[in-house]
Amino acid sequence: MNSIPSVNLEDFLSDDPKRKQKFVDEIGAAYENIGFVALKGHFLSDQLVDNLYSQVKQFFALPLEVKQKYEIPGIGGQRGYVSFGKESAKGKKEGDLKEFWHFGQYVDDNPKLEAEYPANVMVEELPEFNAVGKETYQMLEKTAKYVLRALALHLGLEETYFDQYIHNGNSILRPIHYPPITQEPKEAVRAAAHGDINLITLLMGAQGKGLQVQNHNGEWIDAIAESDELMINVGDMLSRHTNNKLKSTIHQVVNPPKELWGTSRYSIPFFMHPVSEMKLDVLESCINDNNPKLYDDITAGEFLNERLIELGLIKK
């Protein structure tokens, strides 16, 4: 597989059983073969996307001392601002060449989870920033819900299997700024090769070159979406839950050619996480003689904690 397949969520949402099944088959095959799809027909309007990019660019253009007011100690970067070079990929010493912001879940009718999750951080300087972030978060979460419903059908599960786990899930919306590169980076790239931790990731801003995906032959292929598409990939939690039937694919964001070093890049992934009690135990339907059980039982919360330690975002 040398290109990223494109699918349209409108097929799944249609009243036509054949179109719905076509979407299930296409996304299932893509996630078994390369772990990525480009998705049209999502719930983000052009206006909302424009508003979000406008707010995000204004935030990252603020003076560093203003942004650092929003860097909250002791929460592993789960909300608010994370400054340049703080995060590194698993197994890498060099910090990635990026700064970012985290919006988290807006908990609905669950005081226990509301107490468990850190509060979202309000930006005083930009009165629309948080409202636009919240609306984007909720539209991406809605899109992700239907993608997971399609995957449940592909896996032979009841269509709404994932709904109970993603409602009030610990998902994160992460606007990222890759600043202009001012000197030859020694080892660092904008985002070193990694797999995502979560169930699925929905990525805005994959329209230009930079994002690369590693296929099964170990070759790096460019993942470039159309202007109306989100790039959506399988994360490690879903790969683990399905005994690697659905592939969590290694990907990276490479530095641009030298003539483009003076430009910023923005991308905005939505990391769909379940509630921490979700058991990621391998599904029985994904175990057979050819594919014995590969992973020990673990909850989503335990797995996330392990990975945040590996990434250097929380200390043991």
Collapsed DSSP state (helix, strand, coil) of residue 145? helix
Question: Are the beta carbons of 234 and 14 closer than 8 angstroms?
Answer: no
- Is there a domain that residue 1 lies in? no
For residue 267, give the nearest of 56, 95, 6 by alpha carbon. 56
Domain range for residue 192? 6-310
Residue 157 pLDDT:
97
Asked if residue 159 is part of any domain, the answer here is yes
In a domain, 202, yes or no: yes
Summarised one tens digit per residue, pLDDT across range 182-208 is 776 666 555 667 889 999 999 997 667
Any domain includes 30? yes
Crossing angle of helices 129-154 and 17-33, in 10° steps, is 90
Mean pLDDT value across residues 218-230: 89
> Mean pLDDT for the chain?
89
Inter-residue contact 282 to 230 (CB < 8 Å): no
Burial (CB count <10 Å: 0-12, 13-18, 19+), residue 297: exposed
Report DSSP letters for 96-111, one per residue.
PS-EEEEB-----S-H
The residue among 19 and 225 whose pLDDT is bigger is 19
Mean pLDDT of 103-122: 93
Q: What is the distance between the alpha carbons of residues 252 and 305, in angstroms, rounded to a whole number?
A: 22
Round to whole Å and give the CA distance between 230 and 201: 10
Per-residue pLDDT at 292 exceeds 80:
yes
Per the structure block, which two tokens stand in for 174?
Answer: 């992460």
Would residue 43 count as lying in a domain?
yes
**In whole angstroms, what is the distance from residue 121 CA to residue 119 CA?**
6
Residue appearing with tokens 């059980």: 293
- Residue 240 is encoded by which pair of tokens? 């683990």
pLDDT of residue 73: 87
What is the average pLDDT across 48-62?
A: 96
Confidence of residue 89 (pLDDT cuts 50, 70, 90): very low
What percent of the chain stands above pLDDT 90? 66
How many Cβ atoms sit within 10 Å of the Cβ of residue 105?
25
Could you identify the residue written with the tokens 């890759």? 178
**Residue 315 counted as domain residue:** no
Q: Is the pLDDT assigned to residue 127 strictly greater than 90?
A: yes
Identify the band that residue 126 occupies on the pLDDT scale cut at 50, 70 and 90: very high
Q: Predicted confidence band at 98 (pLDDT cuts at 50, 70, 90)? A: confident
pLDDT at 172: 96
The answer to whether 167 touches 40, Cβ cutoff 8 Å, is no
Average pLDDT score over residue span 131-153: 98
Tell me, what's the pLDDT at 86? 57
- pLDDT at residue 210 in the model: 77
Looking at the structure of the chain, the number of domains it has is 1
How far is residue 158's CA from residue 276's CA, in Å, rounded to a whole number? 21
Q: Please give the model's pTM, rounded to 2 decimal places.
A: 0.90
Say if residues 218 and 225 touch (Cβ distance below 8 Å). no
User: What pLDDT is recorded for position 225?
Assistant: 85
Q: Is the pLDDT of residue 88 over 70?
A: no
Q: With pLDDT > 70 as the criterion, what percentage of the chain qualifies?
A: 90
Q: What CATH code is carried by the domain that includes residue 50?
A: 2.60.120.330
User: Is the pLDDT score of 245 beyond 70?
Assistant: yes
Least confident piece of the model among 33-42, 95-104, 253-262? 253-262
Range name among 24-33, 131-140, 301-310 with the lowest pLDDT average: 301-310
The two tokens of residue 244 are 């690697």
Closest CA to 97 of 275, 316, 219, 252: 252
The reply to whether 316 falls in a domain is no
Look at residue 197 and give its three-state secondary structure: coil
Is residue 68 in a domain?
yes
pLDDT digits (tens, 9 = 90+) for 150-182: 999 999 999 999 999 999 999 999 999 988 877
